[in-house]
Amino acid sequence: MSNNKLALISGGGSLPVEIAAYLQRTNRAYTVIRIDGLSDAMLDAHPGHTLGLGDFARLFEILAVEQVKTVCMCGYVQRPDFDTMQKDHGAQHLRSIQTAGRGGDDSLLRQVAKVIASQGYHIEGAHEVNPELLIGAGLQAGPDPSPEAMEDAQEAMRVATAVGALDIGQAVVVAGRITLAVEAQEGTQAMLGRIVNLNPVLRGTLVNRKGVLAKLAKPIQDLRLDMPTIGLQTVEDVAAAGLCGIVARSHHLLIVDKPAVYARAAELGVFIYGHDVH
């Protein structure tokens, strides 16, 4: 891990909060760049600044004043409405990002990173800042998966890889080797919410769990910018959907509040598995 001072550009959700706490705990010099109206209020307790989404002029002023060398971008950011953003704040950067956004979320994130790197800053991924968040290999929590569940896991990973290649989404649900749901722009939580409305013949139940959620990075994805992530809500939603497990590529999934996630998965009877794919 780099010893350079880090600027943590923080979107929504708990991941930036956990990253900031880790930086504080490990005594790495850092500053938090909070996005107005989006970043968690818990980040107010950390040293930093607040700016509007897309205000690159102010961002680069802050980075220069803070004398940082490295930037980490993490947390949830909704696709912006470029027509309503302030064009006088880094307009030349916004134009290039708007153009990239037509190619999908991954293209959009890569262009944002390119803009920041063009000013001489190194981009560091959340998993590089705090490697403790990464899923390991093999069974991580919950009961041993059945052979049927592992077949579903393999199929879900295959489908997720194909869908991800089209820059559509990261998550897929498979039960009985049948694809029940594919994540698009609605996000993993909303996708899981659709499962309970399916024919009971296809899906699992709270009594008889069946099916697996796979969450994989897209093949074209830069993991420094958007590593797949799960948390307590994911485990709760998987359990409520009647699924029996969650699978990801080992060392390619961030788990926010990992001890609590693993404990809750065991309590609900949901396995979490890191597939060692080469």
Unique residue bearing structure tokens 């899923």: 135
Tell me the domains of the chain and their CATH numbers: 6-129 (3.40.50.20), 134-275 (3.40.140.80)
**Beta carbons within 10 angstroms of residue 118's beta carbon:** 10
User: Which DSSP string corresponds to 28-44?
Assistant: --EEEEEETTTS-GGGG
Full pLDDT tens readout for the chain, 278 residues: 445 899 999 989 999 999 999 999 999 999 999 999 889 999 999 999 999 887 888 999 999 999 999 999 998 876 554 454 454 444 455 554 444 344 445 566 677 788 888 889 999 999 999 999 999 999 999 999 999 999 999 999 999 999 988 888 899 999 999 999 999 888 899 999 999 899 988 998 888 999 999 999 888 778 888 889 999 999 999 999 999 999 999 999 999 999 999 999 999 999 999 998 65
Q: How far is CA 103 from CA 33, 96, 98, 179, 268, in A?
A: 26, 12, 10, 26, 39
Q: For residue 161, what pLDDT is reported?
A: 93
Specify the pLDDT at position 55.
Answer: 83
Q: How far apart are the C-alpha atoms of 170 and 163, rounded to whole Å?
A: 8
Which residues sit opposite 73 in a β-bridge? 9
Q: What is d(CA 4, CA 183) in angstroms, rounded to the nearest whole number?
A: 37
Q: What is the pLDDT of residue 106?
A: 55
d(CA 154, CA 24): 39
| Predicted local confidence at residue 114, as pLDDT | 84
**Residue 175 pLDDT:** 97
31 pairs with which residues across the strands? 7
The string of pLDDT tens digits covering residues 89-122 is 444 555 544 443 444 455 666 777 888 888 899 9
> What's the one-letter identity of residue 112?
V
With vertex at residue 205, the alpha carbon angle to CA 193 and CA 215, rounded to the nearest 5 degrees, is 50
What is the number of other CB atoms lying within 10 angstroms of the CB of residue 255? 30
Question: What pLDDT is attached to residue 250?
Answer: 95
**What is the spatial distance between Cα 9 and Cα 33, in angstroms, rounded to a whole number?**
5
pLDDT of residue 1: 42
pTM comes to 0.85
Q: Which two tokens stand for residue 30?
A: 């850092």
> pLDDT tens digits, residue range 180-207?
999 988 889 999 999 989 998 899 888 8
Distance CA 243, CA 271 (A): 10
